[in-house]
Structure 1
Amino acid sequence: MKNILSSVGIGAAEVDTILPKTTFRPGETVEAEVEVHGGSTGQDVDDVYFALITSYRTEDGRKSSVIDKFRLTESFTIEPDEERTFDVEFTIPYSTPTTMGHTDVWVETGLDIDWALDPEDKDYIEVEPSPRLQAVFDAVESLGFTFHTAECQADPHGAFTSRRSFIQEFEFKPRSGPFAGDFDELELVPRESEGELTVHVEIDKRGGLLAEMADMDERRATLTVADADSRSVEADLRRTIEQHR
């Protein structure tokens, strides 16, 4: 009877991830622990997986996307009431979205057990902008733009990336400064690696309803950021926007 109950999750093994904190940056190395607690009967665990996940908007709703995933250990048997702890070390990938606006990122840990409801643990984390991306945000603010929203969206045709199915877009509104009244909004799509940050910039210029319907009000450019120097980024971004004024 205990085996039958365990197969539907009653009295089954449990898994819990212990993170050292809840806020991280891309490129940061994290040391955590995964605890497996035995249930009321012994169970064979085929796999312990650890994944970093986000979600993005599509035309049909929202989908989840695995940013990174790896296996923690070989198969083993967890005996009744036994406790096992596994040390985990992983790096937050540079492709991890920043948790601003409508963006969520979470760590999911699970046990793969045949003929049973797989136990899992889900921990939401905060992901701050990388130093280079923060320099871009500081530059945008210095030019008089205010953060409006951020969201992960599907990129089905690979317009911005060929390695994943979504992008993260940040929208800013001009409130003051040299470009106030000239544009509707400034949209940024970052792609970061260990060596540099590429920012796709879309400038929506005020052009009236006819121009907007024909997408004639949109101007696009690309900005490369090698260092977290907000003054240098501000100068480059200013030139980029002025070219499309």
Structure 2
Amino acid sequence: MRDVLSRIGIGSARVDTVLPSSTVRAGESVDAEVHVEGGSTDQDVDAIYFALETEYRTEEGYQEAVVDKWRLTEPFTIEEGEERRFETTIEVPRRTPVTVGSVSVEVETGLDISLAVDPEDEDRIEVRPTERLQAVFDALESLGFSLHSSECSARPGGVFSTSASFVQEFEYRPRGGEFSGDVDEVEVVPVYGDDALTVHLEVDRRGGLLSEAMDVDERHTSFTVTDADPDAIEGPLADAIRDLS
């Protein structure tokens, strides 16, 4: 009877991931320790698995997305009441969304147990921008813009050169400086490559009701970032915004 109950999650093994730090920069890694505690009966565990998860907006609502997934350990048996610990390193890809605005990212840890409900654990982590993206943000701040909102949304087909099902949008608004009064907002969409960061930029100009109704107040461009120097980015970024405003 205990074996039957454990298969539906009652008295089953438990898993818990302990993170020494819940903050990590995209493209880097964080160490973790996985604690597995046996339940009321011996259970065969095929693997410990991880999934890095977020969610994005679609026309139908919000949908879960797996940024990355991987497995830890060979099959093993966790005996009744036994406690085991496993050390691992969680790699956070560059494309992982930055956790600002409404965006959240979680590490899900699970035990793969055949013919049974998989015990799971979820840990929310704080993801900071890559150094190149942070340099873009710093350059925007120097130009008088501040972050207003951010969210992940479904990738429009063929618009961005990425295989991901979603992109993250950052909306900046002028708080002062050269573009105050001329620009409503600047939207930034990063697309990550191995050697560079491609930044897609949309500038929403201040215009009359007619121009806004016709969507002619929005203009687009993109540029490539190869280093993490805000001073080097600020000039080309300002030129791009001027050209579109």
TM-score range, shorter chain: over 0.9
Q: How far is the alpha carbon of 1:131 from its aligned partner? A: 1.5
Amino-acid identity (%): 56
Question: Is 1:190 aligned to residue 190 of structure 2?
Answer: yes
Runs of 4+ in 1 over 4 A off after TM superposition: none
Q: Find the counterpart in structure 2 of residue 143 from structure 1.
A: 143
Given residue 201 of structure 1, which amino acid in structure 2 is its aligned partner? Answer: L
Question: Is 1:38 aligned to residue 55 of structure 2?
Answer: no
Q: How far is the alpha carbon of 1:129 from its aligned partner? A: 1.4
Write out per-residue CA displacement over residues 38-84 of structure 1, whole angstroms, 9 at most, x where no aligned residue: 10101121221111111111111111111111111222221101122
SS at match of 2:236: helix
Write out per-residue CA displacement over residues 186-236 of structure 1, whole angstroms, 9 at most, x where no aligned residue: 000011234221110000111222222222111101121111111111111
Q: How does 1:66-215 map to 2 (within 5 A)?
A: 66-215=66-215
Stretch deviating more after TM superposition (119-128 or 218-227): 218-227
Q: Whole-Å Cα distance in 1 between the matches of residues 91 and 2 of structure 2?
A: 39
Q: How far is the alpha carbon of 1:159 from its aligned partner? A: 1.6
Q: Find the counterpart in structure 2 of residue 13 from structure 1.
A: 13
Given residue 187 of structure 2, which amino acid in structure 1 is its aligned partner? Answer: E
Write out per-residue CA displacement over residues 113-147 of structure 1, whole angstroms, 9 at most, x where no aligned residue: 12322100000000011221111111111111121
Q: Whole-Å Cα distance in 2 between the matches of residues 106 and 82 of structure 1?
A: 27
SS at match of 1:219: strand
Q: Whole-Å Cα distance in 2 between the matches of residues 226 and 20 of structure 1?
A: 32
Contact 2:34/2:85, CA 8 A, preserved across alignment: yes
Stretch deviating more after TM superposition (171-180 or 75-84): 75-84
Q: Find the counterpart in structure 2 of residue 237 from structure 1.
A: 237
Q: Find the counterpart in structure 2 of residue 26 from structure 1.
A: 26
Structure 2 segments unaligned to the other structure (5+ residues): none
Q: Find the counterpart in structure 1 of residue 218 from structure 2.
A: 218
Structure 1 segments unaligned to the other structure (5+ residues): none
Number of residue pairs the alignment of both structures matches: 245
Q: Calculate the TM-score normalised by the size of structure 2.
A: 0.95
Write out per-residue CA displacement over residues 77-118 of structure 1, whole angstroms, 9 at most, x where no aligned residue: 211011222221232100011001010001000012123221
Q: Calculate the TM-score normalised by the size of structure 1.
A: 0.95
Given residue 103 of structure 1, which amino acid in structure 2 is its aligned partner? Answer: V
Question: What CA RMSD, in Å, does the superposition of the two structures yield over aligned residues?
Answer: 1.3
Q: Whole-Å Cα distance in 2 between the matches of residues 139 and 92 of structure 1?
A: 25
Q: Whole-Å Cα distance in 1 between the matches of residues 203 and 156 of structure 2?
A: 22
SS at match of 2:178: coil
Stretch deviating more after TM superposition (207-216 or 169-178): 207-216
SS at match of 1:243: helix
Contact 2:21/2:30, CA 8 A, preserved across alignment: no
Write out per-residue CA displacement over residues 15-56 of structure 1, whole angstroms, 9 at most, x where no aligned residue: 111112010001212221212111010112122111111111
Q: Whole-Å Cα distance in 1 between the matches of residues 127 and 88 of structure 2?
A: 19
